[in-house]
Amino acid sequence: MTHDAIAVIDFGGQYAHLIATKVRRLHVLAEIRQPDDPIERFAAYKGIILSGSPSLSSHGEDSDYTRAIYDLDTPILGFCFGHQEIAKHYGGTVVHGGREWGPADLHLRGESPVFQGLAPVERVWMSHFDSVTSVGPDFDEIGFTSLGDGGQPHRFAAIASERLRRYGFQFHPEVDDTVHGDEMIGNFVLGICGCRPSWTMEQYIAEEMERVRRQVGDQSVFLLASGGVDSTVAARLLGEALGPDRLHLLHVDNGLMRKDESRDVLQTFREFGLDRNLHFVDASEDFLEALRGVVEPEQKRKIIGNTFISVFEREARTLGIAHHLLGQGTIYPDTIETGGTKRADTIKTHHNRVPIIEEMIAQGRVVEPLAELYKVEVRELGEKMGLAHDLVWRHPFPGPGLGVRLLCGTGAAFTEGLDGIEPEATAVGAAYGLAAQVLPIKSVGVKADLRSYEHPVLVSGDAPWARLLEMAARLFKQVPGINRAIWNLADAAPRAVRPLAATVTRDRLDLLREADHLVMEGLRRHGIYGEIWQCPTVLVPLEVDGRGREYVIIRPIHSERAMTATPAALPARLLGELREQILALSGVSGLALDITTKPPGTIEWE
């Protein structure tokens, strides 16, 4: 190795590659290793980090790994599942219980170098079922957590053996919501491991361009260019690596785009010189026909992905370039959430990871220059390659478009088990002076690296923003079967909410397009578009108190890498404008603001 390096052992958790990214931000090379890699693979690393895992129990299959790493004279740091494994290996106890989701206060104990320069109390991010309840004789407790509510603390949230140079955090320092997580990782990588910061993004660009040239050889690439940040940066890198004559761009209007999106995308490519071989096709009828009558979210995603490939192959034949390689702006969250690593749980299938794409990848027919990067790295890469700031920093938009923001259903209510959780949710809301109603619908979420499909809670009443978020956190912690909370922006708590049968139709998409347009224009009008990382607008087929058919939910969030997110507050004046505008749209039954962190709720509802 020409650089000092850290091995990140990927137990399949949502954040394994995010850990590697955070190490690389310190200009230290990080490489992903599998748990069953032979011990020889670890000999050259200056340190080892153990990731989290989707396993519900640290006593499951993920406990079968190369334990000889503990015999190395190499510092080891474990997060979540990795923390529990370190505790167990050295004589500690792990139990199934003490779950925590979202923010918590870490109270530091002692003077461990891994916490050098930090405050006595640090805000950290939790997502776990299992907990460490005791440690072996070589270890000390160097931190415990609390929610600041006077309740019992969660012990052994951070442990250390300075003699062995072994450290464990129950929380996730790699996510941006752990306020000084970067410093914790830096203390381990640069301090305890003694790594020299010699790895840079410029080197990554050079190495990736060389990798693309080797893969493509003398062929050409046909890139599906949505106009989003990822595909545009991918287009720029491929153009630089291969030359503009060997790169064809295809923009497909799938009928699931935002208002006037295709027109704006084509203009953007022209303005930035990416139109040498730019092709456009309106395939909205293809997609709408393929989605006719479909309601199940995963099925919708797979249909959208397969239809993209059908359109791609048809257009490639028409253009006489059917033997080109397929280019995609895939970034790492697309892969990890689809279960793309050995132990990762499938949170949701992304359109660029459907089976037909996986087959093409196995055949070497797919070129993905951004597949190891997160959104913030893609943006950094785009700026280094000269793309305009406004283009690089536009809000992310999912590949399946509005197809994953237009919820569908059979009209059947999800009521099984509601009797058991409704009283608990109501009691939590009442403690904050708010009404909390468990809705008879479900949305996708992620808990402890596992996919969840659970109920949202509708919260009605006035409260300061911080109190709303505190109440939501309490709901997620105390009430099982809940993975989302939404704040009612209508006048009063509804008396009756009824799911309706609905599928993907042009009329429903047009209504969603208009509501989304009002939200986006509102963010720009109030000068906060750049402050918010993403703001999906979601349409849910719900009748409220006998009126309307479509319930609109706005989800503004703060994030950097899409692996975690926190809800963003909107100005009261903007909320008032959106309430007036959206509730006036024909067929709208209500309006709410999503106040859910990720985890336990994913950014998109499907």
How would DSSP label each residue in 512-525? HHHHHHHHHHHHHH
pLDDT at 59: 47
The predicted pLDDT at position 349 comes to 47
Where does 495-560 have alpha helices with state H?
506-525
SS (H, E, C) 304-342: HHHHHHHHHHHHHHHHCCCCCEEECCCCHHHHHHCCCCC
The predicted structure's pLDDT at residue 62? 43
Which residue in the list 27, 83, 154, 172 is annotated as catalytic?
Answer: 172
> Of the listed 80, 195, 408, 535, which one is catalytic?
80
350 in helix, strand or coil? coil
pLDDT at 438: 96
The DSSP annotation for 67-128 comes to GGGGGSSS-EEEETHHHHHHHHHTT-EEEEEEEEEEEEEEEE-S--GGGTT--SEEEEEEEE
Active-site residue (options: 174, 208, 380, 543): 174
Give the pLDDT of residue 97: 64
The fold of the 5-192 domain, in CATH, is Rossmann fold (3.40.50)
Tell me if the domain spanning 409-594 has CATH number 3.40.50.300.
Answer: no
Tokens of 408: 């569908």
User: What is d(CA 70, CA 65) in angstroms, rounded to the nearest whole number?
Assistant: 11
- Choose among 339, 372, 375: nearest CA to 354: 339
Task: Report yes or no: 51 and 84 within 8 Å, Cβ to Cβ.
Answer: no
Four-residue CA torsion sign, 288, 289, 290, 292: positive
Q: Is 80 a catalytic site residue?
A: yes
> Is the domain 201-401 a CATH 3.30.70.60 member?
no
pLDDT along the chain (606 residues), means of 10: 87 80 90 90 95 59 77 95 92 78 86 96 82 91 75 83 96 90 97 92 88 93 86 91 89 94 86 82 96 92 88 84 80 56 49 61 84 82 88 85 94 90 96 96 79 92 96 94 96 94 97 98 96 96 96 94 86 97 97 95 91
Query: 470: closest CA among 144, 153, 102, 152?
Result: 102
| Structural tokens at position 189 | 């990588």
| pLDDT value of residue 1 | 46
The ranges assigned to domains in the chain are 5-192, 201-401, 409-594
pLDDT at residue number 312: 80
Domains 5-192 and 201-401 share a fold: yes
